[in-house]
Homo-oligomer: A and B are copies of this chain.
Amino acid sequence: MNIEFWFDYASTYSYPAAMRIESVAADNNVSIVWRPFLLGAVFNKQGMNDSPFNVYPAKGEYMWKDMARICSDSNLPFSRPKTFPQHGLLAARVTTRFSDAPWIPKFVRLVYSANFEHNQDISSPSVIEPCLSAVGADVSLVMREAVTEEAKLMLREQTEEAISRGIFGAPSFYVGSELFWGNDRLERAIKWAVEANI
């Protein structure tokens, strides 16, 4: 059984989802397919050139309070990033290019912590390299591979796939052909995978 986890490193609600998906999935013998994409491109297709949380200030103000409550409720550190949304392109390219590497789950969490706990600039190699080093990856190899045309193309194609499959926000989960949207739907998606034996 498996679940596709579609996420964007800048996305606020992807943070709690990323921090807990491994344990929720493991508890149910569901494996995870890590599928980063560029949410900004999805918003562009919808005619927005910024996060809806910035386009609609009331929605944004609520989201930050809701995030603080969610993180507090689940004992997850949270600090509102000075820049929102951050640029997750580099981290997303690394993750797409090495999606099957054993260090990916831990790397994903470290990047989210850098963004939403430590308020670091995740577009900077000086932030991403220590994350790679901490998970035991070959830092120089990964950083070199992440900026190849092949890696760039992989992420573009993955983002196109998200759009063509009807993904409109993050985090999203696909279980077979069934789409679930939002951190709130993680448990329902996992249950779907178990019941449908997908």
Q: Which residues of A contact B (CB under 8 A)?
A: 46, 56, 58-59, 61-62, 65-66, 69, 73, 166-169, 178-181, 184-185, 188
Contact = CB atoms under 8 A, between A and B. Distances in A.
A59 B188 contact: no
Given A65-B179, A69-B188, A184-B184, A168 B46 contact: no
A166 B56 contact: no
* Most chain B Cβ neighbours within 10 Å, of A46, A56, A58, A185: A58
Q: How many copies does the complex hold?
A: 2
Contact of A66 (B58, B66, B181): B181
A179 B62 contact: yes
A73 B191 CA distance: 12
B188 A62 contact: no
A167 B46 contact: no
Contacts of A61: 166
Nearest to A166: B58
Given A179-B65, A181-B66, A58 B188 contact: no
A63 to B, nearest CB: 9
Nearest to A182: B184
B181 A56 contact: no
Contacts of A167: 58
20 contacts: A46-B56, A56-B168, A58-B166, A58-B167, A58-B168, A59-B168, A59-B169, A61-B166, A62-B166, A62-B168, A62-B179, A62-B181, A65-B178, A65-B179, A66-B180, A66-B181, A66-B185, A69-B188, A73-B188, A184-B184
